[in-house]
Amino acid sequence: MKRKILMLVTLLLSIAMVFSACVVQEGSKGGTDQNGTGDVVKAPDKLRIFYVTQGATVPEDFDYQNNTILNLIAKAANVEIVEAIVPPWSDIVTKYNLMMSSGNICDVVHYNGPQTINNDGKNGAFLDLTSVINNSAIIKERYSNFLEQLKAEDGKIYALRALPADGDINMCFYFRWDVLQDLGYTEATIPDTLDEWIEAMRKLKQKYPDAIPYTSMDNLHWSEFVFSCYGITGRGTAWQEYFGKAIHSFEHPLIKDALSTYKMMLDEGLMDPEFITSKRADFDAKRWNKKVLINQQNLGAAMVFASRYMSNNIPEARTVPGIWPFVDDPRVDPASIYEGILPVGNSVVAIASTSKVKDAAIRFVEEMLSEETQTYITWGIEGVDYEVVNGEKQQILDDGSGTQNFTQAKSLYNWLFAVNTRMNIEKSFKATLNAIKNANPGITQAELDEYSRISWKYFNKALEINNSYPTYVLNKFITLNDDTAARATEAANEALIIVTKAMRGDISLDEFDVQAANFLEKYKFITEEYNQKLPAAYKLVGREYGK
């Protein structure tokens, strides 16, 4: 009898031990489990997310809830995505509003539209992230310089916004280095003043009479080069910052000097006479085939633009980012052209105030800001999308096997990084070098290295100069009243006509003075509204009005 009792007790103890090993204990950050080594690990928290594609190209059979990149991010954050709501890009407003009106808000919400999130945050839908930021090393590190820009009107922070591009400038240009070399220029003699660039255009026109040294297209698009050299922005037709205040370009003391320079270039054949009528296709055809020397472009694109020439069968083309050659005049305000560190973007991420797994949501958002995630969204997966050769990442070209389909939608998860990050530009420049190599079978590695050196030299210099100036706010943090905005569009159209006539010499500069004065009087209320709103906008970036 005693033996039977002993056997029964032993059996019950064994069963108890088996069951105790399977119990999941709930904690503040999820359950616990065994990892096979005897160590206790937390089971993933279950997370629901709403996100938008931002127009990214996505395969038809793509699984928005279960895919390679998202799973890696989720694993690092120790969460399991149990629901992913991803509306078509054209229908994000409707689907977002349906979610909000239902009250069943996903734990993490990614959207394009900070004002929408802020408004719903003020109504209680989203967490105030102020304390989250203060308690998170990675969020604090990423956003410490941009906290004012994140705040809603009530002073709270309801969403993180995409970080500024650390490798881009909106207002920049590139020059054809190969054309300059053909004209006898060396690195030591690359033009660095407006007069020197105009002289280079003259040499180009003399050697190649059919060349078009400078061109633009309808609406004066890509016509900014000379205006910018005089410190005039907005193609000479819009409102701009000028020594800490808002003015219209017509008020700039050097506007007539810029217009006179354009007219001189037209008279000498240095500028395309069709500068105001060319459509995009015509503009590009001239850019590819007429040795256009200077082309406006954002810095990120300027750095890699040579690849487009390769695609258009111009294998000799070498493009290099340029440095603005400002006119030497104290009335030029470089801060009118250089934008300083760019502001945060409109891609936003918020956490629902009703979430039952707020800690998990925070971990997931933190992981979206990690270096690992930035590598995933830029390069993809090692061994599939890229390989490391001699310590450097090299893109693996798609061999058509389908293995890269898993990560071709990696940009979907670029929620909080800008597109033109330095990492992305480095990757794109390597692709550009490969394109040059493929288009020029006889090119040597030394030649590629030299082109790379001078390109990065000018890229880094342009970025360093730009970042030494304060952040430009006029068209980034100021929203005109609806009626004023409509009139500003009307004003831009009127200004375009006046400027074009003056550039071509259809009206004299005296006649320009009269028309500009009438224009400024007619639309002075727009200038006044900009100046009324400018101090608050400057506060967001740590600037003072009038300075």
> What's 480-512 look like in SS3?
CCHHHHHHHHHHHHHHHHHHHHHHHCCCCHHHH
Tokens representing 272 are: 């395309």
The three-state DSSP-derived secondary structure of 47-69 is: EEEECCCCCCCCCCCCCCCCCHH
List the pLDDT tens digit at each of the 547 positions of the chain.
433 433 443 434 343 433 333 333 333 345 555 555 555 668 999 999 999 998 888 888 889 999 989 999 999 999 999 999 999 999 999 999 999 999 999 999 999 999 999 999 999 999 999 999 999 999 999 999 999 999 999 999 999 999 999 889 988 999 999 999 999 999 999 999 999 999 999 999 999 999 999 999 988 888 999 999 999 997 999 999 999 999 999 999 999 999 999 999 999 999 999 999 999 999 999 999 999 999 999 999 999 999 999 999 999 999 999 999 999 999 999 999 999 988 999 999 999 999 999 999 999 999 999 999 999 999 888 888 888 988 888 888 765 554 445 556 788 999 999 888 999 999 999 999 999 999 999 999 999 999 999 999 999 999 999 999 999 998 888 989 999 999 999 999 999 999 999 999 999 999 999 999 999 999 999 999 999 999 999 998 888 887 7
Give dist(CA 125, CA 152) in Å, integer: 14
The full set of domains in the chain, from first to last, is 32-166+344-378 (3.40.190.10), 173-340+466-540 (3.40.190.10)
Q: Are strands 79-85 and 45-50 parallel, antiparallel or unpaired?
A: parallel
Closest CA to 116 of 104, 100, 127, 129: 100
Calculate Rg over the CA atoms of the chain.
Answer: 29
DSSP letters, 217-248, are: BGGGBT-HHHHHHTT--GGGTSEEEETTEEEE
- Whether the full predicted model's pTM is greater than 0.75, yes or no, is yes
Task: For residue 155, give every residue at least 6 positions away whose Cβ sits within 8 Å of its Cβ, in sequence order, or none.
Answer: none
Burial of 475: CB neighbours in 10 Å, binned 0-12, 13-18, 19+? middle
Give dist(CA 261, CA 238) in Å, integer: 19
Stretch (H or E) spanning 347: strand 347-351
Residue carrying the six token digits 């002289």: 199
Give dist(CA 433, CA 427) in Å, integer: 10
Could you report how far apart the first and last alpha carbons of the chain are, in Å?
Answer: 98
Give dist(CA 248, CA 240) in Å, integer: 6
Q: Are strands 347-351 and 160-161 parallel, antiparallel or unpaired?
A: antiparallel
* pLDDT value at residue 290: 96
Task: For residue 465, give every residue at least 6 positions away whose Cβ sits within 8 Å of its Cβ, in sequence order, or none.
Answer: 323, 338
* pLDDT value at residue 38: 58
Give dist(CA 246, CA 230) in Å, integer: 16
Tokens representing 390 are: 């001699």
Cβ(201)–Cβ(270) below 8 Å: yes
Cβ(160)–Cβ(143) below 8 Å: yes
